[in-house]
Amino acid sequence: MLEQKLKPIKVCIINDSNLMRKYLSDLVTSDEIEVIFTAIDGEDAISKINLKKPDVILLDLEMPKMDGLTFIEKMIKSEVLLPIIVVSSFSQKGTKIVLDALENGAVDFVTIQSNTNEDNNLKEILVSKIKIAYKSDPYQLIQENICLLKPNPKKNQTSNTSERLVVIGSSTGGPSTLQKILNDLPRDLPAGILLVQHMPKNFTKQFALRLSENSGFKVKEAEEGDLIKDGEILVAPGDFHMIVQPNKKIHLDCSDKRFGVRPSVNMTMISASEVYGTNLVGIILTGMGHDGGFGMKTIKKRGGRTIVQNKETCVIFGMPKEVIDLKSADFVLPLNKIALKISEEIQNLVR
């Protein structure tokens, strides 16, 4: 009697990058695993899942329209509960976003390096986790992963660091908009300020100098190891992501672009939210694209406050609209009221 061949595990891949969808599909496809469909974001996936019924989901976190955390939340509330493995470059030890995903219903995670050529063991790891997830009960989360990911509470805080932080992201129309906001902010604001303006390298240094000359603030292009201080403004250098480290110093990162941009507002906001938590105010101004939406959602989730520029005063309403669509805007304000609201929120943190 011939042995019956086992049916392959049906997998779906949710990732906004066409390159990454193909890469992961090629990586896991075998006689044992079949990629039955891919989706560009959570919204796209939900429309397909009921029809195609996958066994396991490979999920990115940072996506437009519906990000990975929102997708997990919706899946948990639905009648279709499937094992979800987070596959993301955010999946690093100590990253609280992964904790969120695991605690909300994902069963496991896999780290993707910024350079996929470095993922020598990724195929073996991913295939193994897919097989385990297929046999798992999504209701019973893998608690040991949560324990492994919990960050070390011992942090080497440096003296003279700011206890409160403002992170502002902008793109098209941003330079003049930022200048207006800085002109209206009090010079003795008891918070550090980080600016992420989509701008090529060799421009951001002069941009910072001009802001400094015209605003009265101390503004400089960020350098590796810069300390975040009250009343001082650091501008993300072109072609580098500006990351906030636990010691409240800046790390400049040249990993892959996010949504086609580097510096990425998301990268700065996500790292800042993990360090500053409730002592953080995020602002998204005029600009095209999706960058900043997921970052603002993360700030709000950590208890920070979020402000976006309204449509009527934006040159391009793309970035603020993304935040609003993700239901992550505490305040939607015209340009001439944003500085006052920033100051009010920071003063509320001081009290």
Spatial contact of 318 and 174, defined as CB atoms under 8 Å apart = no
Provide, rounded to the nearest whole percent, the portion of the chain with pLDDT above 90: 70
Q: Are strands 108-111 and 165-170 parallel, antiparallel or unpaired?
A: unpaired
Tokens linked to 167: 């992170």
Does pLDDT of 119 surpass 80?
A: no
Give the pLDDT of residue 332.
98
| Higher-confidence position of 120 and 261 | 261
Give CA–CA dist 23/17, Å, rounded.
Answer: 10
Q: What is the pLDDT of residues 292-322, one digit of tens each?
A: 999 999 999 999 999 999 999 999 999 999 9
Which residues, 6 or more positions from 60, have their beta carbon under 8 angstroms from its beta carbon?
A: 14, 15, 16, 17, 20, 68, 86, 87, 88
Does pLDDT of 43 surpass 50?
A: yes
Q: Residue ranges per domain, the chain?
A: 9-149, 165-350
Tokens linked to 118: 């470095």
Domain 165-350 has CATH 3.40.50.300: no
Catalytic residue among 60, 100, 198, 264: 198
Catalytic residue among 25, 88, 89, 171: 171
Tokens linked to 212: 């400094």
Give the pLDDT of residue 116.
53
Averaged over 156-169, what is the pLDDT?
A: 82
Q: What single-letter DSSP state applies at residue 312?
A: G
The DSSP result for 122-161, as a single string, is HHHHHHHHHHHHHHS-TTS--HHHHHHHPPPS---PPTT-
Give the pLDDT of residue 146.
46
Give the pLDDT of residue 275.
95
Does pLDDT of 60 surpass 70?
A: yes
Does pLDDT of 117 surpass 70?
A: no
CATH number of 9-149: 3.40.50.2300
Q: What is the pLDDT of residues 75-87, one digit of tens each?
A: 887 767 889 999 9
Does pLDDT of 128 surpass 60?
A: yes
Based on the residue annotation, tell me whether 291 is a catalytic residue of this protein. Answer: yes
Asked whether the domain spanning 165-350 has the same topology as the one spanning 9-149, the reply is yes
Give the pLDDT of residue 121.
80
Tokens linked to 263: 């510096």
Confidence of residue 106 (pLDDT cuts 50, 70, 90): confident
Q: What is the pLDDT of residues 264-286, one digit of tens each?
A: 999 999 999 999 999 999 999 99
Q: Which residues pair with 90 in a beta bridge?
A: none
Averaged over 90-99, what is the pLDDT?
A: 66
Does pLDDT of 90 surpass 80?
A: no
Q: What single-letter DSSP state applies at residue 325?
A: H
Based on the residue annotation, tell me whether 170 is a catalytic residue of this protein. Answer: no
Based on the residue annotation, tell me whether 171 is a catalytic residue of this protein. Answer: yes
Average pLDDT over the chain, rounded to an integer: 88
Does pLDDT of 261 surpass 90?
A: yes
Does pLDDT of 142 surpass 50?
A: no
